[in-house]
Amino acid sequence: MRRLIIVTVLAACVLLAMRKMAERAGPVMRQRCSEMCDGMLANMPESFPPNRMMADLESIKEQTARILEELKEPPGVDEPQE
């Protein structure tokens, strides 16, 4: 019974220590993985599907911004007057 308690307490301590290490290393690992992915995508040809998809998303963002700017402008002379 005593061994079970000792093993349980030690296992809990190890799990808590591992959790703390994971919390500290998480942001660093996420940043490193992101940098690695960016580097791999930069080395791929422009016809690579993810690169093509990103280019399409950028063009959609530009078109959306342009449309929103045109919608914000006051009515022009081209509109019929009543």
Indicate whether 79 pLDDT > 70.
no
Q: What is the pLDDT of residue 76?
A: 63
Q: Which amino acid is at 55?
A: A
Q: CA neighbours within 13 Å on the CB side: how many for 40? A: 7
Question: 10 Å Cβ neighbour count for 27?
Answer: 9
Q: What ranges do the domains of the chain cover?
A: 2-70
* Residue 53 structure tokens: 């998809």
Encode pLDDT of 25-76 as tens digits.
Answer: 888 888 998 899 888 878 888 777 777 787 888 899 999 999 999 888 776 6
Assess whether pLDDT exceeds 70 at residue 8.
yes
pTM: 0.39
